[in-house]
Structure 1
Amino acid sequence: MSERVMPGRTDGLITLAAADALWGDLTTGSAVPTASGAFTRSPARARAGYVLLGSRAVATVRTGDGQWSVPEGEVRRAAAELNAVGMDRQDLVRVGPFRGTPGQERDGETPLLWRQRVKGELQGSGDPERAARREVGRPSHLAGIDWRQLLVEQTRGGAQRTWWLPRAVVRLLDAAEHAEKQWVRTAPPRRAGPAVTEASSLPRQAPETGGRRTTDPEGPAVPLRPYGKELEGRLYSVLSRKPGTSRKVAGWACAVCRTAPATVLDHCHEHGYVRAPVCQSCNTQERPDHLYSNDIRVANRYERLFLTDADDWLRHWHRCTGCRARTTLPLPHLAAWTARIACRSLRPTHRAPRGRKPCGVLRVSWTGSQNAPRSCLLTVAVDFCPSGEHRVLARVPYREATERFHAWLAETAPAVAAAAGPDRLDDLPTRFRPVVVDTSGEGLELF
C-alpha cells in the first residue's frame, strides 16, 4: 500500500513532476548548475526503480494508481550533498574527443555511461536538424547536472576541437556511474518471462584439443599455431606497417589464454617492442583502466592480473625487451600493482554480511614519468569511501615501487624474475626509443 503525501512531512512520496520542481528549488544556489527534468527527461531512470541525482541513486516507487513517485526526503538529502560540493571552474579535465579511449571496466551495462553520452551529443551537434530535434523540450542533464553550462571548448591549431569539464563535475559523474552500478548489482531481480539459458545464445564450441578450435562441432577445425618467440625484440612501429602482418597474426593462438585466435599485436607503449599476438579479450583485460592520462582505477580484474593468473601475465609483460631488462612493468601497470599489492594492508575495510570487505574503489595517479624516476611519485587513494571520499592511502616514489616489485616478482614468478635483469641492458638502445603513439586514444601516447 502506498504512502500518501502529508502536508509538512519530508519523508512522504511526491510525484516526479513535484520532485523536479523541488530539485530545482533546493539547488538554486549550488556551485554545480542543475537542470529541470532530472526525474522526467532522459536519461532519467525513474521507471527502472531509481534516479541519479549528483552522486546519489534515489529509489522511485510505483504507487497504487500506477504512477511513479519518489521519497521527498531522499531528494532533499541528494540536494544537500550537491550543494556541499565546491568547484573550481579553472581546474578542467578533458572529456573528448578521444579515438577509442579505453573504457572503464563495467560488471554490466549501466545506462548512464556519461562519457559516451557527452561524446555522442557533442559529435551530433554539427548536424543542425538533429541538434534541433534534441534540444526542443529536452534539457541537457546527466544525474540532474546541467553539464552544458560547464562545458569548455578549446581549439588546437585552429582546427581540432577539444571539450573539457571541471574536475569536480567529472568526479560527480564518475560517482554517479558507480552508484548506478552498485544499485543495479544489489537491486532485487525483476519478475520477467521464462528464463533463457545464457549458453543457448552462444555459438556451440567443440572441445579444444591440440591447439585446434571450432565454432561448430561439424565444421572444419582451424589450426592455430602456438606462439613462440618469433616477434621478440621487434618494434611495433615497424612491424605493424608491413603488409600481411594482420593475416600472420590471425594464424597464432593467443599468447596469454592460448585457446582463442589472436587478433591484435599487443605491444609496450613505453619501449615500443612487440609483446605477442593476443585475442581481443586478453588485450582488453590487460589494458589499464584510465580515468585521465595519469590516473587509473584499480578494478576487480587486477585480481586476475596480479594474483590468480599472475605468472601468465608477468611472463607476457616481460616479453617486452625493455621491461624485462629493467625488471619492471610499464608505469600504469606498476602503479596498479603498487595500489593492489604493495598497499593492500593500508586499504580500509568495513563490515559486510560475511565478515569484512575492502572499502571503496582503489585509484592511483602519478606525477612525472618513468623516464625521470627521481621525480615520479605514485599516489594511492580510495574513492567512494564512507569515511572520506578520495582518501589518500600512500605516496610511493617510483624507485621504491620498482624495488618492491623486484622482491615480489622473485617470490611470485621466479622463472620470470630469473629471465630478467640488468645483464640484458646491452641489447637496448643507449637512449629511450620514441614512444609509440597510441592511435586509439589521443592524448594517451605514453600509455
Structure 2
Amino acid sequence: MSYLTPAAAQALLTELTCDAQLAVDPREITRSRRFEPHDHVLLGDIVVRRFRHGGRWKYIEQDIRQAGHALARFGLDLHDVVPVQFYGAGTSAGLRPERTDWRGAIGSYLSDLAPGQSTAPASLAWTASLWSSTRSLAGTFPLRLLSHADGQWLLPRAYVELLDRWREREEDLTARARICKDCGAQGPSGYEWRTLEGTGYVTRCPACSAAGLPHYADQLAGRTYKWAKQSAHRAAEYLCRLCGARRAYVWDHCHQPTHQYVRGPLCTSCNTTEGRGPEAAFLQRDGAARYLLHCPGCRRDRSLPDHHYAAVAGAHLAQTERRCRLCTAPPTVTPVPGADLTRGPLRYTLTCSRHPWETPWTASVPADQARAIVTDLVEAVLADDSAR
C-alpha cells in the first residue's frame, strides 16, 4: 500500500482534475482538520479517508487516484440549470450557516463579495469576480458555476444534486463519528469524545476511555523526553494526566532547553491546548500551573516555561490595573505580540468593560518583575502541595 503526504496527494489530485468540467479545489486535501468531526475529506460526494502513518497524516494513493478519476468524469450540462434561493450572513443578522447548509454557505459567500447584494448581481465586474473566486465548498468552487437570469440565481442541476449528496454524506459521517467505538453510546456533537490513536481518531465515551486504563503515577518522573521516546513505555497505556477523561497519546514534556523532562501523558486535545493554544486560557484550567511543575527543572528553578510568562504577568495586571481609581472592574489584558523577556519588558494593551467608549491603554511589566511574579506563583503552588 502506497501512502502520500497531504502535499503529494494535492499535487496528484491537481494533475488528475486539471481538465475536469467540475471546478475542483485540490486544497481541500491539505486543509488543517484538527477540529473536524471525522477523519474523512469529501470532494463533492466522494469520501476519502485520512490515516496516521509513521506519526504523520497520510492518504492512500489509490484512494486519491479513484477520487480524481471520478471527479474528472463528472459531467455537467451547463444548459440544464435550476433556480436556487440563497440566504446567509447578509440576510440573517450575521449568523453563519450550519456546516452542511450549502445554500446558506453560498449566500454567505455572495454577501461577503457585496454586502446586501446577495439576491442579484451588483455589476458586471462583480459577476466576473464570481468566476475568479477561490471560495470553495465540498472541495469545489460553487461561485464559478453560478448564472443569473430573470431575477434568479441558477446552478446546473447535476451540481445541485451533487451538493445534496455531499450534505447527506457529511452528516452521516459526523453522526457515525459520535458513536463510542466500544459501547455504542452516542456522544455530544463536536470533538469531545475523539482521541488520536494508532491510524487516526477514535471515539470513546469517558467510561470506556477509563476502563482498564490506569492513572499516571509519575512512572517516568525525572526522565527526559528523549529517554521516554526510546523506552518501551507508551503514553497510550494511561489516561490523560490533565483531563483524566481520554486515553493519552503523547508524552508531554517541558520545552525549556535545559529541562526537557517528561511531565506526563496527555491526550491530543490537552497537549494542543498547552503547546499551541492561548497560554492564558491554559493557565486558567484547574491545576494547570501544578501540572507544569511536574518538570523537576521548573520546580528546582522556581519557574515556568518561558512562553507562559506573558500570561502570568498579564493575569497580575488584570488584578492590579484599573481604568481609574473608582473602577472595580478588572480589565481585559492582551499581550503585545512578540513579547520576549530577553528583549525588555512585557507589554500589554488593556480595555475596560465598564468604559468601552474609552481608548485602550497600555501597561508593561519589566522582566525582573515578571520573573518575580512567576516565582511567587510557583512558591504558592508548591506551598499548597506541601499542605495537602
* TM-score (normalised: structure 1): 0.39
Higher fraction of helix:
2
